Amino acid sequence: MSSGKTSLAADAGLTHLAVSLRGVTKTYDNGVLALGALDLTVRKGEFISLLGPSGCGKSTALRIIAELTAPSSGTVRVARHEGARQPGHGIGFVFQEPTLMPWTSVRENVRLPLKLAGIPKAEARARSDEALASVGLADFADAFPRELSGGMKMRASLARALVTEPDILLMDEPFAALDEITRFRLNNDLLALWRSLGKTVIFVTHSVFESVYLSQRVVVMTARPGRIQADIRIETVEPRGEAFRTSAAYSDYCRKVSAALAPSYSGQSTL
């Protein structure tokens, strides 16, 4: 496969890297080796997908990058904010579930990261409203999470991840539970946001089609313990839109990625 391309990014020097993992492994308390050894480099402003079967450790990799989980071995380097409005919060995280606090309004949910960082209320409110507007939820700021649809909850979750203006956005199968039409729409909105904000995005998914549609690079992982099986660059005319989804190039890439993914499932003949 075209895994040689990663080295290009590495050669470009550390200053251009957003995330670099070297020999990262994760062993759970029960002795199961979940991940690794994983080597991964992501350039600043890049949109990459981690694609792999369930339980391959892709979510664990994301949690390690976010420092929510400590790696058992290996080194993790994450480029931090420089000269931004709010140091120390260079990472936005979108979980698989919307993970909103049900007891308060959407605006308060989005304001949470700023509140925890001690940003004055007036400024925090303004920035929350800005973030909500950027995901098309301006009219729902005062609603409670239970009053929103699944797609809108996910948008609110995305707004909360964006409100600290992070450099890196980590997304853990965010749209997996949504219906297809909603997912397509959110895919397009996410691409538009990525283009306008220029953030680094690491997107975990188990959908071949979603990964090819969204990302510049698809990193295919093996079954547990997760390692990198293939690293496939998706090159097409930017900006992408619905036309790409129906193009021949798109289906070629999907076939290529599926072929790379197939060995990961070979041990699981029952599926």
Partner 1 sequence: MNAQATVTAKPRSLQSALRFVLPVIVFAAGILAWELLVRIKGIPPYVLPAPSVIVLTLIKDWAVLSQSLAATLLTTLEGFAAASIGGIALALLFNQSKWVEYSLFPYAIVLQVTPVIAIAPLLLIYLEQQTAVVACAFIVAFFPVLSNTTLGLNSVDRNLAGLFQLYGASKPQTLRFLKLPAALPYILGGLRIAGGLSLIGAVVAEIAAGTAGAGSGLAYRIAESGYRLNIPRMFAALLLLSLAGIVIYGVLAVVSHLVLRRWHESALGKEN
Binding site for partner 1 (CB under 8 A): 63, 66-68, 88-89, 91, 93, 95-97, 99, 101-104, 112-113, 115-117, 144-146, 164
**Measured from the CB atom, is 172 or 231 closer to partner 1?**
172
Query: What values do phi and psi take at 214, rounded to 5?
Result: -85, -40
Whole-number minimum distance, CB 103 to partner 1, in Å? Answer: 5
Whole-number minimum distance, CB 152 to partner 1, in Å? Answer: 16
Closest C-alpha among 212, 237, 231, 202 to residue 10: 231
**Measured from the CB atom, is 53 or 166 closer to partner 1?**
166
**Measured from the CB atom, is 20 or 109 closer to partner 1?**
109
CB 2 within 8 A of CB 231: yes
**Measured from the CB atom, is 170 or 214 closer to partner 1?**
170
Whole-number minimum distance, CB 112 to partner 1, in Å? Answer: 7
Structure tokens at 56: 């391959």
| Residue 53 Cα distances to 48, 67, 171, 229, 230, angstroms | 17, 23, 16, 12, 14
**N-to-C CA span, the chain:** 25
Whole-number minimum distance, CB 109 to partner 1, in Å? Answer: 10
**Measured from the CB atom, is 37 or 168 closer to partner 1?**
168
**Measured from the CB atom, is 69 or 236 closer to partner 1?**
69
Whole-number minimum distance, CB 115 to partner 1, in Å? Answer: 7
Whole-number minimum distance, CB 148 to partner 1, in Å? Answer: 12
Looking up tokens 């792999």 gives: 52
